Structure 1
Amino acid sequence: MRTQENRAAETARIISDSRSLYTRTDGEPFFFSSGWASPVFIDCKKLISSPDDRALLVEMAVEAITAHIDPDSLDAIAGCELTGVPFAALIADRLHKPLVLVCKQRKGFGRLAQFEGSFEAGAKVLLIDDLATDGASESVFMSALRKAEAEILGTFVLVDFNVFTGEHRMLSLATLEDIMDRAESDGYFGRREADEVRKFIRDAPTWSRKHGGISAI
């Protein structure tokens, strides 16, 4: 089994090679739905279209998850609408676990109105998404699971920005800093771009405030 350091390095390589990392260090930055401003974004949606990369990411995800959570303790895998669904489905298949999809909004009535699929009250669930920036989206999906009387054993993402204060801690394959380390070594950025993203990683709230975003939630 790979170490966490090995998994982070492989994930960073995949993201760098697939050109899934984008920056806006001049002009208007990226704005996340919660109001944070960022000079960088990772488009994990691209990764499902490469069979080799996808297979390796799922293999490493299963390693990371089972290193922290006993699969026998899990009753279901929950995928976040929309981008978390492909990887949640693949991981659920590898672990041979039921799959449910957590929707952004309720559709219909009853305890499971915000879900596709079903699970019993008290079910032990692992929530899966592709990318966590500020953790706001994952918090919404976690709230839906709790309202549906699920017990959340953890949250897993491929990449966790891991730069915002108060962000819910998650299992992940890599952090934004891991991705940046690889991207810089690959010559993905110019020096000025890289320096600006490093400023964001060191102090995201201050960077966000200076560029028109919020500085706290």
Structure 2
Amino acid sequence: MSRDSHQAITGRSISRLLLEAGAIQVSQDQPFFLAAGWASPVYVDCRLLVDRPRWRRTVIDLAIATLRRSPSLDIDIIAGAETAGIPWAAFLAERLDLPLRYVRKRPLGIGRNAQVEGGSVEGRNVLLVDDLTTDASSKASFTRGLRQAGAVVTDVFSIFHHAVFPGGQERLQELGLRLHYLASWEDLRRLEPGEGLNKAQQALLEHFLADPVAWSGHHGGRGF
């Protein structure tokens, strides 16, 4: 199976799972304000996927399959991003039989290990795990914390990638990071009629995706 075919199948599977879990929320009235400051009429709550064993197993199965399609990926330690990335990092580390760490959003105390908990990462290849990637601004903080502690960080994994806000790809490139993810808004849009959002929700999503920055600015979030 080609990389594109694998991504398409994975994206549809995760999109259906998110819908089944009620993890994709659409607001016709009040926008959601994402952690990075963007306003959006749609919100993805991957934390709901921890509820059921079948959902957790599906996510981790697809995560491992996706990561294994990157032959150059070398992982010694899994590190979960505070807080939503921690359970997924734990599930993944357990399945891969790898050590687990977690990294805080900001330093706690002083010293080169101020952000990293669970043990040393000195000289080790660390995969950073988070539930979402928006514009990768939080990934910069987590990556700096791990590297300050001596880790080698070249790859990050997320369940969902918004992939619509500016600066994300450039930020990842500046950090020297490769992003591995399971689904994005494009995957949700590819679902067959009746599988995804209803017509009104889909219309709102399409209006947002046509110009996410302008939509955000016009609804009280970050703009130009």
Q: TM-score, with normalisation over the residues of structure 2?
A: 0.86
Q: Distance in 1 between matches of 2:16 and 2:196?
A: 12
Candidates 150, 173, 186, aligned match of 1:177: 186
Contact 2:162 2:184 in 1 (8 A): yes
Q: Equivalent residue for 1:5?
A: 8
Moved more, 83-92 or 99-108: 99-108
Deviation at 1:69, TM superposition (A): 4.8
Indicate whether 1:195 and 2:171 are aligned: no
The gaps in structure 1 that reach 5 residues or longer are none
What does the per-residue CA deviation read over 1:101-145, in whole Å, with 9 as the maximum and x for residues that have no partner?
001232233221211112343321111011122322222211212
Candidates 204, 212, 216, aligned match of 2:220: 212
Q: Distance in 1 between matches of 2:46 and 2:84?
A: 8
Candidates 36, 39, 62, aligned match of 1:37: 39
Q: Which amino acid aligns with 2:203?
A: D
Deviation at 1:53, TM superposition (A): 1.2
Q: Distance in 2 between matches of 1:183 and 1:204?
A: 24
Q: Distance in 2 between matches of 1:112 and 1:19?
A: 37
| Backbone CA RMSD of aligned residues | 2.0
Structure-2 change in CA distance of 1:79 and 1:208 (3 Å): same
Candidates 58, 68, 77, aligned match of 2:70: 68
Q: Which amino acid aligns with 1:13?
A: R
Structure-2 change in CA distance of 1:122 and 1:37 (3 Å): same
Q: Distance in 1 between matches of 2:206 and 2:192?
A: 12
Structure-2 change in CA distance of 1:42 and 1:147 (3 Å): same
Moved more, 203-212 or 106-115: 106-115
SS in 2 for 1:177: helix
Q: TM-score, with normalisation over the residues of structure 1?
A: 0.89
Q: Distance in 2 between matches of 1:142 and 1:185?
A: 40
Candidates 162, 186, 194, aligned match of 2:195: 186
Q: Distance in 1 between matches of 2:182 and 2:142?
A: 20
Contact 1:14 1:53 in 2 (8 A): yes
Contact 2:47 2:84 in 1 (8 A): yes
Q: Distance in 2 between matches of 1:3 and 1:119?
A: 35
Moved more, 43-52 or 202-211: 202-211
What does the per-residue CA deviation read over 1:77-120, in whole Å, with 9 as the maximum and x for residues that have no partner?
11001111111111112222211100123223322121111234
Contact 1:83 1:130 in 2 (8 A): yes
What does the per-residue CA deviation read over 1:170-209, in whole Å, with 9 as the maximum and x for residues that have no partner?
21011122124438632533x2331121122232111111
Candidates 15, 20, 33, aligned match of 2:18: 15
Contact 1:79 1:128 in 2 (8 A): yes
